[in-house]
């Protein structure tokens, strides 16, 4: 069985300061891990994906995440927050068994960016 824990339900940062959204996972297999973002009243958009290549993954809009197997973590970071980053972020682990990749979602972290 696989699971994802997002350690913060809500994070608030000032514009121009770093962003850290924390995620721990549990998986019986070599996992694929994703971060998705959901802006208000919009569908989910893929930010970045880890699939056992480089452990530091770069995504869109300046975000990146580092896969740390020893810590079972996949934290999302960005050096400098922008107002447009305000959204809900989901950490996701993929089950690679079967015919369709089933995704298990975390409960989400709402990022607030203030002036």
Taking the least distance from each CB to other proteins, the nearer of 73 and 94 is: 94
- Residue 72 Ramachandran class (φ > 0 left, ψ -120 to 50 alpha, else beta): left
H helix intervals, the chain: none
Residues 28-87 that bind other proteins (CB under 8 A): 32, 34, 36, 41-46, 49, 51
Taking the least distance from each CB to other proteins, the nearer of 19 and 48 is: 48
Least distance (Å) from other proteins to the CB of residue 63?
15
- Six-digit token string for 111: 């990022």
Least distance (Å) from other proteins to the CB of residue 20?
19
Question: CB under 8 Å to 9, separation ≥6 — which residues?
Answer: 107, 108, 109, 110
Taking the least distance from each CB to other proteins, the nearer of 78 and 106 is: 106
Cα-based angle 8, 10, 13 (whole degrees, multiple of 5): 110
Least distance (Å) from other proteins to the CB of residue 96?
6
Least distance (Å) from other proteins to the CB of residue 100?
4
Residue recorded with tokens 């950490």: 91
d(CA 92, CA 74): 10
Query: Which residues of the chain form contacts with other proteins (CB under 8 A)?
Result: 9, 32, 34, 36, 41-46, 49, 51, 90, 94, 96, 98-103, 105-108
């Amino acid at each position: 069985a696989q699971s994802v824990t997002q350690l913060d339900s809500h994070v608030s940062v000032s514009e121009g300061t770093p962003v850290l959204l924390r995620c721990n996972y549990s998986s019986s297999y070599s996992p694929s891990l994703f971060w998705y973002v959901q802006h208000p009243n919009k569908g989910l958009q893929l930010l970045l994906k880890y699939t056992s290549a480089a452990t530091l993954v770069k995504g869109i809009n300046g975000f990146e995440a580092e896969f740390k197997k020893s810590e079972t973590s996949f934290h999302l970071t960005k050096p400098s927050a922008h107002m447009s980053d305000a959204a809900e972020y989901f950490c996701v682990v993929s089950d690679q068994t079967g015919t369709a990749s089933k995704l298990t979602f975390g409960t989400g972290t709402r990022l607030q960016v203030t002036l």
